Structure 1
């Protein structure tokens, strides 16, 4: 009986652990980033490779997270980037780091 109780508590504890962080590519798809951006081709917005090349060697991640969250225009031409306030900051950080690593 005691063993069953311990096993049940362990199973509940494991179930309560947060799921492993989603892969950046899955987050990009989940948050519809791929509707306007691609890895190596300009769509509505710049490719991820273009973004990485523009900001290479700069400490820009926090600024880009803010820009994705609030939207903006002018960095890659006249087409504005829509704000994305619904995207969790943790997801934004993962996606921006991935983009900058291209």
Structure 2
């Protein structure tokens, strides 16, 4: 009887551990740009596939497709903020983000914000 209870408890503990570890593993598998976007509150105003406060990342990728200057333009927009391109709601400046982090997010967005 005790062995059965011990096995059941072990199975429950293993299930709980897997359910906690799985999202962390999936987050670690996400592209660097996505991880940086998540860590810097980008997702508070943007979503991958739908407009929130600002345009979706996929809308941004479509708008700048084929624009060789897009990485520079968008990098500056992230760093300095701005308004007028997508409407009157301003994008706040993200001056504390490193240039490497900004480049990772911009490259990820311009690639269409892929999940892998």
TM range (shorter): 0.7 to 0.9
After superposing on structure 2, the runs of 4+ consecutive aligned residues of structure 1 that deviate more than 3 Å are none
Q: Does 1:97 align with 2:107?
A: yes
Superposed CA deviations along residues 50-84 of structure 1, whole A, max 9, x for unmatched, are 10010000011011101110000011111110010
- Number of equivalent positions: 81
**Which blocks of at least 5 consecutive residues in structure 1 are unaligned?**
1-21
RMSD: 1.0
TM-score, normalised to structure 2, is 0.68
SS at match of 1:54: helix
* Corresponding residue for residue 98 of structure 2: 88
Greater helix proportion: 2
**Which blocks of at least 5 consecutive residues in structure 2 are unaligned?**
1-30
- C-alpha displacement at 1:23, in angstroms? 1.5
* Corresponding residue for residue 52 of structure 2: 43
- C-alpha displacement at 1:38, in angstroms? 0.3
TM-score, normalised to structure 1, is 0.77
* Corresponding residue for residue 8 of structure 1: none
* Corresponding residue for residue 29 of structure 1: 38
* Corresponding residue for residue 6 of structure 1: none
Task: Give the structure with higher Rg (CA).
Answer: 2
